[in-house]
Amino acid sequence: MNKIDVFSNGEEYRYFTEHFCERCELYKVESIGISINDNCPIEENISKAMFDEKKFPSEVVVRLNNTATWVCKNFIGIDEEVNNLFIKQVLPKIEEVKE
């Protein structure tokens, strides 16, 4: 059985959410700071993976070539600047990830 690659610690998770979820058009937060993500199940599935690693959204959230850097294939930047950075700097690296 293949081991599923998941965040190894809270720091990797926090880095991922800060750089992807919180800058993504699909990520929604209520005024009290609770996420309400009907458009994107990634955060919910990451939480479920704490109890069952098979729930980790590994088809969308991928580690870049055995580094501590995780990226989201479904990312849509909240503005043009963020989206352009993703397209120029991150997207080519995602395409390099070996399936």
pLDDT single digits (tens) 61-93: 998 887 888 999 989 988 898 888 888 888 888
Q: Of 25, 18, 15, 40, whose CA–CA distance to 80 is shortest?
A: 25
pLDDT digits (tens, 9 = 90+) for 4-51: 788 888 899 999 989 898 888 888 766 555 556 566 888 888 888 889
Residue ranges of domains in the chain = 10-94
Give the separation between CA 83 and CA 93, rounded to whole angstroms.
15
What's the pLDDT at 47? 85
pLDDT reported for residue 61: 93
**Confidence (pTM):** 0.76
Most distant CA atoms of the chain, gap in Å: 43
